[in-house]
Structure 1
Amino acid sequence: MDPLTSGLLVVIGLFVLMAIGTPIAFALGGISLIALVASRGLPELTYFGETFYESIAHFGFVAIPMFIMMGAAVASSPTGRDLYRALDVWLGRVPAGLAVSNIGACSIFAALSGSSPATCAAIGKMGIPEMRQRGYPDGVAAGCIAAGGTLGILIPPSVTMIVYGIATETSIGRLFMAGVFPGFMLAGLFIVWTIIACRISGGYGGSVKAGVNQVANNVRANLDAIRRVLPFLAVVLGILFTLYGGVATPSEAAGAGAFLCILLAIVIYRMWDRQRLQLIFRDTLRESVMIMLIIAAAEIFAFALSSLFITQTLAEAIATMEVNRWVLMGIINVFLLVAGFFLPPVAVIVMTAPILMPIILNAGFDPYWFAVILTINLEIGLITPPVGLNLFIINGIAPEISLRDILLGSLPYALCMVLAIIILCFFPGIATWLPTTMMG
């Protein structure tokens, strides 16, 4: 059987398994095992276990559960509430100020937690009811939170950037720096659209003013909220400084950050009872195991594709295409967009980044710039069906808003992400200037 036919059968089998509800890691591992045994016989089982173990026996992966623990400590504390209250006071008087403050809170909380679902849940639980109470349209209220949550995988520290760095053997510190300015640029585009959407709907006028006056009467309480958040921000800035300055490896910085965030949660928010600490460790264990299983299964899937010469055939077909390099980049982005509709970012990165990296380098593109493009592209999948994880999280915390309204409110933000990718194509220095300046 030729490689293209084998690849088509493998992809169809993968989608069938996912369509019947098989978890992604088991779908990837199962179809890989079937393909390897069918093509190379039962002796191939010997290499299955070895490949599974070796794919995650990498010291760099220690940073993943540590950053997840750091995010779990922040997400389990009232940090999101304090961020929301503080930014509401600062931004409440600008047009669409409450929605803008929610995006700002999502941006900062994303940097603290590094998790899109955690950001949506933490900010959305307070922000969506408050916006609806003040007269904001349901689509804007849900859409700005769903979109703001996607910033968690772009603004550093980001778990997906760590996975990309390990998969492509690129510097994680440079990847973090490359995501800083694009992350804030994307947040700015979200804010611009939010203001436009609110002006079009006309549904945020007098209600907002009344809400701002009510919050402004509690200035002292909001200043206390700011003081409680600042230590967490200091931890994030310290982590980035140690990474950029070469003081510590990502794993060491992540371990110190996780310890400090748990300590701050205990000291500042009195989270020393056993149940709340167990919740942090449970969430960390659950998400870490899920990500590591996906990484291991995706590595086996890549091994199966390579053993069947599917990867080599596909890469050669793409590399030999006689097209402009920007047309090639457009084809790659369409491929990533479709993959992101069905698979989580971590799975897409582990499966595709090692294949695409030689093609990107041969075409003359910067690998750190491409990491940002890839991440923004995968963010679109978080707010679009059929998977659209952030959409379902918003629907879970605000069931009174229909999934249709959430989707329609989120789609313009997906277009903002497409615009961000276009801007980065014209001005790649937005992603490359900071790592080049800081690290040469």
Structure 2
Amino acid sequence: MDPLSLGLLVALATIVILFSGVSVAVGLLIVAAAFLLIFDGTRSLEMIPEIFFADLNSFAILSIPMFIIMGAAVASTRAGADLFEALERWLTRVPGGLVVSNLGACALFAAMSGSSPATCAAIGKMGIPEMQKRGYPDGVAAGSIAAGGTLGILIPPSVTMIVYGIATETSIGRLFLAGIIPGFLLTGLFMAWAIYATWRSGNAAVLSPRSYSMRERFEILPRILPFLAVIAGVLYFMYGGIATTSETAAVGAVLCLVMAIIIYRLWNPRAIWGILRDSTRESVMILFIMAAAGVFAYMMSSLFITQSIAQWIAGLEVNRWVLMALINLFLLVAGFFLPPVAVILMTAPILMPILEAAQFDPYWFAVILTINMEVGLITPPVGLNLFVINSIAPNISLRAILLGSAPFVGCMFAAIIILCLFPGLATWLPTLVMGPL
């Protein structure tokens, strides 16, 4: 069987296995082992344990559990509620300011936690009922929180960017910098649409039932500024040459735990144990997927599937932007069904040679890929953020949440188009801080 036909067979088998209900990591291992056994014999199976553990033998991987602990510590406190309340107090007299406050809180909390579901839950529990009480449309209330939660995988520090960096052997520091301006761009597009939708519904002048004094506005800041200072410190230590990414992540994790204990009095050992337990569970899940994807990539390469697909696409001789459009379509469909980490690890070995041949910047592409993955978080059938919103706001129907999220998907597509027209939005800051490639 020729490699391209074999690649199609692998794709079909992978889809069937993953839709059977097994976990992503186990499904990838099953497919890889089966095809190696059938087409390469039993000797190739001896390599699986070595490849499985070799893919985890990287110092950079230590940053993943550290950043997850950092986010879990923040998510276990009232930081999200305080962040929302602080922004609401400062923007209370701005027409449509409450929805802007929620999106701003989502962006900042996403940067602190790095978790989309945690952002939706932390901000949505207070933000959605408050917006409904003030007369904002249900679609705007639910859709803005669902979309705002996706910013966690784009705005640094981002676990998704770390996984991309490890999979493609690119600089994690550059990837973090590449996500900053596009993160602000996407947040701005979200806010612009939310204000327009509020104005269109006739509720743009909805204001707070009360005004806040300057004392009330400032008194809440000490509870959230330390966490934001940690994020700024993490970025400074990373780009100031003071520490590596993994070392910086470890310091950030410890500082966030200490602040959660001091500021929010998280003295209970069970609460601290819960943070470490949940962080370990999520870290192991990601690392298991990474190791299994390494075995899957080995199978694809060993059977010459990866090389043949890359040569076939390169031989099409289509315009590079047509090629990029096809890649975006592929990523979009993959993101509908698979988590971002799995998509990155499965597609990176195939896409990187193609991108290099087409002379696309890998750091710019990381941002494009991440926004595609964000779309998958608020679109069915998986759409994790949609179900998180539905669980914290059961009075809003899933249909209303879907319709409210749809315009924000349009904002993401607009961001991709803008980044294609102006790639410097993603590449300028990394070049400025770390020099040209």
Calculate the TM-score normalised by the size of structure 1. Answer: 0.96
**Segment of structure 1 superposing worse, 252-261 or 117-126:** 117-126
Is contact 2:306-2:349 (8 Å) kept? no
Q: CA deviation at 1:367?
A: 1.4
Is contact 2:371-2:412 (8 Å) kept? yes
Matching residue of 1:385: 380
Matching residue of 2:82: 82
Q: CA deviation at 1:203?
A: 4.2
Q: CA deviation at 1:21?
A: 1.5
Matched, 1:436 2:413: no
SS class of match (2:224)? helix
SS class of match (1:29)? helix
| One of 403, 409, 420 as aligned partner of 1:408 | 403
Percent of aligned pairs with the same amino acid: 63
Q: Distance in 2 between matches of 1:59 and 1:264?
A: 26
Matched, 1:64 2:64: yes
Q: CA deviation at 1:433?
A: 1.0
Q: CA deviation at 1:289?
A: 1.0
Q: Distance in 2 between matches of 1:3 and 1:323?
A: 22
Matching residue of 1:225: 220
Matching residue of 2:10: 10
Q: 1:239-269: per-residue Cα shift (whole Å, max 9, x none)?
A: 1011112211110000000000000000101
Matching residue of 1:107: 107
Q: 1:140-167: per-residue Cα shift (whole Å, max 9, x none)?
A: 1110001001100111111111111111
Q: Distance in 1 between matches of 2:35 and 2:203?
A: 55
| One of 394, 400, 409 as aligned partner of 1:399 | 394
Is contact 2:195-2:204 (8 Å) kept? no
5+ unaligned residues in a row in structure 1: which ranges? none
Matched, 1:426 2:421: yes
| One of 342, 345, 359 as aligned partner of 2:354 | 359
Matching residue of 2:344: 349
Q: CA deviation at 1:123?
A: 0.7
Letter in 1 for 2:263: I
Q: 1:74-96: per-residue Cα shift (whole Å, max 9, x none)?
A: 00011001100010112222222
Letter in 2 for 1:140: V
Q: Distance in 1 between matches of 2:148 and 2:272?
A: 27
Matching residue of 2:55: 55
5+ unaligned residues in a row in structure 2: which ranges? none
- Alpha-carbon spacing, 1:131–1:204, altered in 2? closer, same or farther (3 Å): farther
SS class of match (1:364)? coil
Q: CA deviation at 1:393?
A: 1.1
Q: CA deviation at 1:224?
A: 2.8
Matching residue of 2:22: 22
SS class of match (1:92)? coil
Q: 1:383-419: per-residue Cα shift (whole Å, max 9, x none)?
A: 1111111111111111221111111111110110110
Q: What pairs with 1:143-158 in structure 2 (closer than 5 Å)?
A: 143-158=143-158
Matching residue of 2:313: 318
Matching residue of 1:39: 39
SS class of match (2:55)? helix
Q: Distance in 2 between matches of 1:390 and 1:439?
A: 34
Matching residue of 1:263: 258
Q: Distance in 1 between matches of 2:109 and 2:293?
A: 29
Calculate the TM-score normalised by the size of structure 2. Answer: 0.97
Is contact 1:116-1:151 (8 Å) kept? yes
Q: CA deviation at 1:35?
A: 1.3
The ranges of structure 1 where at least 4 consecutive aligned residues each deviate by more than 6 angstroms after the TM superposition are none
Is contact 2:89-2:212 (8 Å) kept? no
Q: 1:343-390: per-residue Cα shift (whole Å, max 9, x none)?
A: 111111111123212221221221111111111111111111111111
Q: Distance in 1 between matches of 2:213 and 2:32?
A: 58
Q: 1:272-296: per-residue Cα shift (whole Å, max 9, x none)?
A: 1112111211220111111111111
SS class of match (2:220)? helix
Q: Distance in 2 between matches of 1:110 and 1:148?
A: 8
Matching residue of 2:363: 368
Q: CA deviation at 1:299?
A: 1.3
Q: CA deviation at 1:236?
A: 0.5
Is contact 1:174-1:244 (8 Å) kept? no
Q: Distance in 1 between matches of 2:140 and 2:164?
A: 32
SS class of match (1:56)? coil
Q: Distance in 2 between matches of 1:432 and 1:166?
A: 19
Q: Distance in 1 between matches of 2:357 and 2:42?
A: 38
Q: Distance in 2 between matches of 1:36 and 1:268?
A: 54
Q: Distance in 2 between matches of 1:92 and 1:431?
A: 33
Q: CA deviation at 1:4?
A: 2.3
Matching residue of 1:139: 139
Q: Distance in 2 between matches of 1:160 and 1:273?
A: 31
Is contact 1:382-1:388 (8 Å) kept? yes
Letter in 2 for 1:103: L
Q: 1:307-328: per-residue Cα shift (whole Å, max 9, x none)?
A: 2211111111111121111111
Letter in 1 for 2:180: V
Q: Distance in 1 between matches of 2:168 and 2:243?
A: 20
Is contact 1:134-1:204 (8 Å) kept? no
| One of 267, 271, 279 as aligned partner of 1:276 | 271
